[in-house]
Structure 1
Amino acid sequence: MKLSKKSVTVLSFTIGACLFVSTAFADTLLGSGYDRLKGSVKNTATLMEKDLKNYTIETLYTLKDNDQTLLQSSSTQKMDMEKQMQEDNTATKTAKGETTSRYTYSDKKQSVYKNGTDNTYYVTEYPANVNRKGPAEFNNPFKEKGAQEIEKIVDAVVGGLKDYVQVEEGQNGGKVYAGSLSEAQVPALMNAVSSFGIKQMLNKDKGFPDIESDVFVKKVVGSAVENKAGYLENITGDITLSGKDKNGTEHNLNLNIMVKLSEIGNTKIAAPDLTGANVEKVNYSGGFSSKYVGTYKNNIVMEKDGKFVKIGERTVEITSVDDGKVTGKYSETVNPGYESQYPDKDAFDFEYNPSTSTTFTYKNEKGEQKNGSIHQSNSGKIYFEMNIEIINENSYRSEFKPYYDGEFNRTFE
């Protein structure tokens, strides 16, 4: 079972809100715990972005339903900003006991990927003249687009709970933030946000209970440890929600997350030794060359009155392939009389550089920014994907438009 991008976003927001709420409780002699914690989170993000030479992040999150584990995931990520090296080991276990794992390594010269169910290491080597983005970069979430608006939402959710804070002096000059909320202390706004978020997350993924009604927060517990340097070393959040499925069965959902930042300045990363291993080389350019320049088309087909009917046409024009970078145009036309069946016709230019990203960005007919991708298929064919949702750096999924077909044939007119 994989979490979609929307689910991961909701999960992250819920955890973040719970952490702020559960640790940001009232003025003490040290001042507002909420404001101090938020300042520490921002300072930690800034240090990870600019000042920390190398570090290790360990993450564990567990989602349970009535004490049955639905999903558990653990990750150890090592970052070296100076040498531009990154290594990530992730393992996930589902309610059925199915376990998946993933290993990735990346530096300026190569990237290595291995899925736990596959004994093959997929290796991509990058020429020295390729302007590849550094693999070890931390994107500060507080500098992302819309971050200030999200912060205001979290502030609104916290509301009067700032009056409940516990802040204590920790060891070696640090601070400890800790707190908890019972069901009676949870404000209506937090219940509303959590209810919406948890239903969106659960109902988007198969295997999770279909929660429909009476969703509320029963308990929130959280803690964070800040060292004397002013950044967070340990974060723990725990939230319990209750809700009913369509049959009226009550579910108690518990979400627990633990994050640890460690080995600062002492994290060691080395390229994997692949001697004797099953290795498959992957072309950094995705295999595109000038022979792919040309026009590719397929039909927009719908079923009507028990028959297949062509209602329009899709066109991908690859205008150039230069050092692996693919540029081109995408467009759709709809036959007269079928406009109501296919009202949203996309048309955009694209630039795909596989040496820096697995996807390209474009704007759809509504002006919304989306992700797409292009791959080779059989001789004289390509595969063109749209509306991609990024799950993580190694996986994604597509939400296809109506009647969509991603395989395009070369025209030789």
Structure 2
Amino acid sequence: MKLSKKSVTVLSFTIGACLFVSTAFADTLLGSGYDRLKGSAKTTASMMDKDMKNYTLEALYTLKDNDKTLLQGSTSQKIDIENQMKEENTTTKEANGETTSRYNYSDITKSVNKYGPDNTYQVMEYPANANNRNPADFENPFEEKGAAEIEKIVDAVVGGLKDYVQVEEGPEGGKVYSGSLSETQVPAILNAVSSFGIKQMLNNEPDLPVIESDVFVKRVVGSAIENKIGYLENVTGDITLSGKDKNGVQHDLNLNVIFKLSEVGSTKITIPDLTGAKVEKVSYSNGFSSKYVGAYKNDIVMEKDGKFVKIGERTVEITSVDNDKVKGKFSETVVSGYESEYPDKDNFEFVYDPANSSTFTYKNAKGEEKNGSIYQSAPGKIHFQVNLEIIDKNSYKSEAKPYYDGEFNRIFE
């Protein structure tokens, strides 16, 4: 699923909140309790990776500003690892009442997408020689490169928290974890990290309040249910962050999230029946066709003296889409006087061949070989990512350039 910029922000916000909640709970449970909760999280990830043949994942989230709802969303994923199938339904409701939805089905041979009010199903059939991964594969976060080091850092940061969680026996076996933290119980170092990260994240989003000062974690409440088999089947988190905008107005940003793992071993996925439906066949080049040929731009923006300043531009030019290959050019220009702020301007040509890889290679301004990705976004927009680090054949991570924005808008004459 390709996420919009707003969706990525909410997802990042959610992950950060849940990471804080879960690790705070984990570290308050000294001895066997600590080991039990952390072990349960690892057991859950391992079972999803190796033991569960199929399952259903559901997530609900609500983001509010001073009790005004900014965003609500729900996602339901059905995963069938054994039959290499995945189905997903996502719904998002914004503050203005606008609701958007997205449906996706994928298996080893094709994908089916339907977005928003458009009743057209986009169907992509993969060529026989395509090097496709199983769309239902689960990537265990505890086995990723650097996971052990990150775990130690998190343990050290919140290691001073104690006695703020209750652990009870579940009614049908297993464990029930619940607890809360107030602003006076949040360690200063964690508040400092949260303040910096949240300001950087929220201040780049035009639809969210610009928080400039006095940012702190006001309240954290959460719970987790471990069933008798030993995996977590329900996790909830509620976090409130407080801060002031440039006018001194206080904002309490509250995020509530619920995650549910269910129907383990009984999840069934049916190939969508498109008989009589409006169907658009798309090429294997990640949905690209000749209509995407053209130039796309965005601004290089930095914050200076409390203001946003445009210091340059990025351009992606798609020169051709032929035989499922996307060819093009990427360039960056910087306004005179800001060269020291953005010294490494990339200029390169690229060829994206999805039959061989989900990424393409290029040489950056320093002559180093790097990886990038490209995919279509909303109508008239594309997403172009650089500085990707390949972890393995199925996954990669991004090391973002300073002031980088991957969303590009079509230039119309």
Q: TM-score band (shorter)?
A: 0.7 to 0.9
Distance in 1, matches of 2:382 and 2:91, equals: 30
Match of 2:68 in 1: 68
Partner of 2:161, secondary structure, is helix
Superposed CA offset, 1:237-265 (max 9, x none) = 11112111111111111111100000000
Alpha-carbon offset, residue 205 of structure 1? 1.4
Q: 1:315 and 1:101, CA in 2 relative to 1: closer, same or farther beyond 3 A?
A: closer
Letter in 2 for 1:387: Q
Deviation at 1:59, TM superposition (A): 0.2
**Which residue of the partner structure matches residue 371 of structure 1?**
372
CA distance in 2, matches of 1:113, 1:243: 39
Which amino acid in the other structure matches residue 229 of structure 2?
A: A
1:319-367 Cα offsets, whole Å, 9 max, x none, are x98x7466x8968799xx9995985343668552324766435463355
CA distance in 1, matches of 2:105, 2:143: 26
Once the two structures are superposed, residues 19-49 of structure 1 have per-residue CA deviations (whole angstroms, 9 ceiling, x without a partner) of 321464244xxx4433321221111111111
Partner amino acid for 2:106?
S
1:302 corresponds to = none
Q: Which has the higher contact order (CA 8 A, sep 6+)?
A: 1
SS at match of 1:166: strand
Residue 308 of structure 1 is matched in structure 2 by: none
Distance 1:362 1:9 in 2: 28
Q: Aligned letter for 1:8?
A: L
Residue by residue over 1:123-143, the C-alpha shift from the partner in whole angstroms, topping out at 9 and shown as x without a partner, is 011233333221111111222
Closer, same or farther in 2 for the Cα pair 1:389/1:264, shift >3 Å?
farther
Q: Give the length in aligned residue pairs.
A: 365
Structure of larger gyration radius: 1
Q: Which residue of 1 aligns with 2:127?
A: 127
What is the RMSD of the two structures over their aligned residues, measured on CA atoms?
Answer: 3.9
> In the TM superposition, what is the alpha-carbon distance from 1:287 to its structure 2 partner?
8.7
Using the alignment, how far apart are the partners of 1:288 and 1:388 within structure 2? 19
Match of 1:387 among 361, 385, 388: 385
2:115 and 2:318 map into 1 onto residues whose CA distance is 32
- What is the 5 A alignment of 1:92-241? 92-241=92-241
Runs of at least 5 residues in structure 2 that lack an aligned partner in the other structure: 297-314, 389-394, 396-400
Contact 1:202–1:211 under 8 Å retained in 2: yes
Where structure 1 has 5 or more consecutive residues not aligned to the other structure, the ranges are 290-295, 299-312, 376-382, 408-413
SS in 1 for 2:133: coil
The 5 Å alignment of 1:73-84 reads 73-84=73-84
Identity %: 59
- Which range is displaced more, 221-230 or 141-150? 141-150
- Compare 177-186 and 191-200 and name the one that shifted more: 191-200
Distance, in Å, in 2 between the alignment partners of 1:317 and 1:173 is: 61
Q: Deviations over 1:157-209 (max 9, x none)?
A: 31211444422221332111111112221111221122223222321212111
Question: What is the TM-score normalised by the length of structure 2?
Answer: 0.75
Q: Using a 3 Å threshold, how does the CA distance of structure 1 residues 406 and 346 change in structure 2: closer, same or farther?
A: farther
Cα distance in 1 for residues equivalent to 2:317 and 2:112 = 34
Name the amino acid aligned to 1:373: I
Q: Please state how far the C-alpha of 1:117 moved relative to its aligned partner.
A: 2.1
* Structure-2 separation of matches of 1:361 and 1:38: 38
Give the superposition deviation at 1:18. Answer: 2.0
Q: From the superposition, tell whether residues 297 and 13 of structure 1 become closer, same or farther in structure 2 (CA, over 3 Å).
A: closer
CA contact (8 A) 2:370 2:387 kept: no
1:80 offset after TM fit, Å?
0.2
Amino acid at match of 1:53: K
1:19 aligns with 2:19: no
**TM-score, structure 1 as length reference:** 0.75
**Does the 8 A contact of 2:66 with 2:252 survive in 1?**
yes
